[in-house]
Chains A and B, each alone.
Chain A
């Protein structure tokens, strides 16, 4: 179960107060800032994963909260779509064009920074921000599973079986990350570091939930997955090397080492056996597959720019 965050403005304050007291009055969706809006949406989305201790689970589908969520996610989706330049034109099939887009991505790399020069403090801060997602790794796209046609559904289940430890809870990727955090003396509670998360990190997490929870966005959800996996293998090796340079414990390095090999499989699965067959079966999803993939790269480079600038390392 996640921990309720501290409010960051009038809207998150109203929501958190309603969740705590269990009775929901009309909430005016007038966020005080983009952080206030992003945190409110994140807090609502967590109700659909493992919920909060002391908060009534029935509030997940409380009509007033669904209305607030819908307004905030419409706004998020509009902003994400405005940023997207549109899909490339290609003749050689989806996978080749997809890997070409990944290769052309020249966003700043946090993994390279950790590999070569991050201080222990900066690496810890990054792990805290990453924990928002890594402690529920693969959960958002799991919500997409029943919304897919047969071929991509089978392939996504195959990929997720690996993400979820192949039947062994101790190998579940989210659990490996929790073990790494515990070995570092960090709080491994889900959402334990949400109060420290910059708006870019909240938005990255919200985008995955937006794509996962809305069936109409299944294309974006698997496109996001493919880009996430395709930008994981080599960066995870760099992360593992950087954490070793800093003398961090084996448990956290193991999380990254596991992803070097796992994601070299997953990127091929996601592009060739999930996205491509989805586009073949449901051609209307093609634009959204590209939208989701591009959004994944864009949101990650926003986080990297923010942190590297703040660390004076850009």
Chain B
């Protein structure tokens, strides 16, 4: 009997209406070209443009109108 297969998981996950999840160690350049190194095993990168902690998500997408969410 072979072991059950678990499909390989992606390193980048786009969350509908929310951030982009990024697995692993990366340098992320923000709007102004400033580079930020990830500090967590998995990071959430802002896609709505409204985060106060850009380039990282701070959950602000949840309080903007649905039509303006990514």
Contact = CB atoms under 8 A, between A and B. Distances in A.
Interface of A: 95-96, 99, 102-103, 150-151, 154, 158-159, 161-162, 166, 233-234, 237, 260-265, 267-269, 272-273
Interface residues of B, number: 26
A262 B23 CA distance: 14
Given A161-B41, A268-B44, A234 B18 contact: no
A150 B60 CA distance: 31
A166 B41 contact: yes
Contact of A260 (B9, B16, B17, B53): B53
Given A151-B9, A158-B41, A269 B56 contact: no
A261 B39 CA distance: 11
Contacts, number: 70
Contact of A264 (B6, B13, B41, B56): B56
A72 to B, nearest CB: 36
Interface of B: 4, 6, 9, 13, 15-19, 21, 23, 39-44, 52-53, 56-60, 62-63
B15 A272 contact: yes
> By DSSP majority rule, is chain A's interface helix, strand, loop, or mixed?
helix
26 contacts: A95-B15, A95-B16, A99-B18, A102-B62, A103-B62, A158-B41, A162-B41, A233-B58, A233-B59, A234-B60, A261-B56, A261-B58, A264-B56, A264-B59, A265-B19, A265-B43, A265-B44, A267-B59, A268-B21, A268-B44, A269-B21, A269-B42, A272-B13, A272-B15, A273-B9, A273-B13
